[in-house]
Amino acid sequence: MFETAKRRQPLWLLAELTYKCPLQCPYCSNPLDFASAGQELTTEQWIDVFRQARKMGAAQLGFSGGEPLVRQDLEILIAEARRLGYYTNLITSGIGLNAQRIAHFHDAGLDHIQVSFQASDEEVNQMLSGSAKAFAQKLKMAREVKAQGYPMVLNFVTHRHNIDQIDRIIELCVELEADYVELATCQYYGWAFENREALLPTRAQLERAERITNEYRERLAAQGHPIKLIFVTPDYYEERPKKCMNGWGELFLTVTPDGTALPCHSARMLPLTFPNVKDHSLSHIWNDSEGFNYFRGKGWMKEPCRSCDEQDDDLGGCRCQAYMLTGDMHNADPVCAKSEHHSLIVEARLAAEGDVSTAMTFRNERNSRVFFKG
Amino acid sequence: MNAAVPVINRMFRLQWEEAQEAWVLLYPEGMVQLNASAAEILTRVDGQKTIEEIQRELLTKYPEAEGLEQDVNDFFAHAQTLNWIRYV
């Protein structure tokens, strides 16, 4: 969504304020061992991060988590970010929100609220979020967000269990007057990778969903409806990898709850050392740290990427996916048909065609402790 | 003659970005860097001035610019398709 910057600047700052969350979605992108993370940054430490990043060119600030609403100082952080000139985005499940809080955020200068949904009906939503009341609360809050005049993005992570409801999902978004809708097919990192077998849709499911989305796009456009439907295909059904994060350390800077700085929110899983904002200035972190420089440029590439004539299109794809699937983060992303490990992706697609187990590991403290002890 | 009064859509925020030495439009999770002429026009959009008044201001500032009125009309037509502006 960004036009290319002339210089390398962290235009997008993602502030993962906390790993605490009342929901337990089995596709959460937080690390599996989030329960082992250190102490959360204080209000003053976050404000200092915002100030430094703004000086380095950051213009978009996402408040994320976990559930950012858990932070009692959120209003203060929003006000300070807005004062610094950020476009402020609150990325929330809506759990913990109420009309008064939405109004306070508005007064603090919040620009936009993104509400994530698990499904278009209560039953599936409950199964996925682990909360019975979540769906009704989300509907109520989405209506309140619009009633108070905010731009609103609705985000549905789609997968095997809800992708066949895509028509109902879109209709719900139209009814709720969303400005943008992200129909984001689950990406298999963190908890989603753990639950991949139970989440990956079949090719037929995916093609049907994309066709229906296109039909809605045409119909809505013909009505002059301003809603924008963004359909994110899962790379598991592609033959070339995605240009992950638009290039490592080119545009995105994530700061995790304990202050660890990452070039993308998944990168913590890699066997690299990432700097902490408590120990270093952001300028040092962005420009000079080993973690941010490691995959910049193309010098790190192995074959087949090194001599590939498409290397600039995708920069070898996602480093985390290469590491998770092949054990070597320097390998080509196995999504690429030129990768010697591409069969791993093909096998996952084939497995999705059969009867799959619906058992999933839900993202919660108890399960997370298993991952960091084990 | 164009008496329509454009205003920037609430979804977007027009802002000078020092780091990029450019005017930008910020919107949910995105940003567009504006070229000089787009910035000259959009910075005059305030929900008060008509398109005609904006054209007149620009003609005063750039008396030698050829086809300026048409360029401004084209810009507003394009900006509306991008949902950047609406009319009061």
Residue in chain A nearest B86 by alpha carbon: A226
Distance from CA of residue A285 to its chain's centroid? Answer: 22
Residues of B with CB under 8 A from a CB of A: 10-11, 13, 15, 17, 19-20, 24, 26-33, 83
Half-sphere exposure of A178 toward its Cβ, with a 13 Å CA cutoff? 28
Listed range (A137-141, A275-279, A338-342) with the worst mean pLDDT: A137-141
- Could you read off the pLDDT of B18-38 as tens digits, one per residue? 998 999 999 998 999 999 999
Cα angle value A95/A225/A61 (rounded, 5°): 40
State the average pLDDT over residues A298-322.
96
Whether residue A273 is predicted with pLDDT greater than 80 in this model: the reply is yes
Whether residue B1 is predicted with pLDDT greater than 70 in this model: the reply is no
Q: Confirm whether residue A28 is marked as ligand binding.
A: yes
Find, among A133, A94, A88, the residue nearest to A115 by Cα. Answer: A94
- DSSP symbols for A267-311: GGGSSS---BTTTS-HHHHHHH-HHHHTTSSSTT--TTTTT-TTH
- Could you read off the pLDDT of A207-241 as tens digits, one per residue? 999 999 999 999 999 998 989 999 988 899 999 99
Shortest Cα–Cα distance, B29 to chain A (Å)? 6
* B31 → closest Cβ in A56, A59, A153: A59
Whether residue A286 is predicted with pLDDT greater than 60 in this model: the reply is yes
**Which chain B residues touch A246 with a CB distance below 8 Å?**
none
Listed range (A121-130, A191-200, A248-257, B27-36) with the worst mean pLDDT: A121-130
In sequence order, what are the residues at sequence separation of 6 or more whose Cβ sits closer than 8 angstroms to the Cβ of residue A367? A361
Instruction: Tell if the CB–CB gap between A180 and B28 is shorter than 8 Å.
Output: yes
Instruction: Tell if the CB–CB gap between B13 and A87 is shorter than 8 Å.
Output: yes
Cα angle value A290/B31/A243 (rounded, 5°): 45
Find, among A317, A320, A347, the residue nearest to A335 by Cα. Answer: A317
Residue in chain B nearest A53 by alpha carbon: B19
Instruction: Tell if the CB–CB gap between B24 and A59 is shorter than 8 Å.
Output: yes
Structurally, at CATH architecture level, domain A12-237 sits in Alpha-Beta Barrel (3.20)
* Domain residue limits, chain A: 12-237
- Could you read off the pLDDT of A66-85 as tens digits, one per residue? 999 999 999 999 999 999 99
Instruction: Tell if the CB–CB gap between B13 and A5 is shorter than 8 Å.
Output: no
* A226 → closest Cβ in B17, B31, B83: B83
Interface test with A, best of B8, B14, B16, B26 (most A CBs within 10 A): B26
Instruction: Tell if the CB–CB gap between A1 and B29 is shorter than 8 Å.
Output: yes
| Pairing mode of beta strands A261-262, B13-17 | unpaired
Rounded Cα–Cα distance for residues A33 and A211 (Å): 38
Residue-level pLDDT at A215: 98
Find, among A345, A361, A101, the residue nearest to A242 by Cα. Answer: A345
Instruction: Tell if the CB–CB gap between A87 and B31 is shorter than 8 Å.
Output: yes
- Could you read off the pLDDT of A343-370 as tens digits, one per residue? 999 999 999 998 877 788 888 888 888 7
Continuous segment of H or E residues that includes residue A125: helix A122-129
- DSSP symbols for A209-256: HHHHHHHHHHHHHHTT---EEEEE--GGG-SS---GGGSTTTSEEEE-
- Domains annotated for chain B, with CATH where assigned, are 6-83 (1.10.10.1150)
| Cβ contact A315:A250 at 8 Å | no
Shortest Cα–Cα distance, A112 to chain B (Å)? 6
In sequence order, what are the residues at sequence separation of 6 or more whose Cβ sits closer than 8 angstroms to the Cβ of residue A366? none
- Tell me the pLDDT band of A1, cut-offs 50, 70 and 90: very low
Continuous segment of H or E residues that includes residue A63: strand A60-64
Rounded Cα–Cα distance for residues A110 and A95 (Å): 18
In sequence order, what are the residues at sequence separation of 6 or more whose Cβ sits closer than 8 angstroms to the Cβ of residue A290? A272, A273
ipTM reported for the complex, 2 dp: 0.89
Three-state secondary structure readout of B11-54: CCEEEEEHHHCEEEEEECCEEEECCHHHHHHHCCCCCCCCHHHH
Instruction: Tell if the CB–CB gap between A6 and B20 is shorter than 8 Å.
Output: yes
Q: Which amino acid is at A245?
A: M
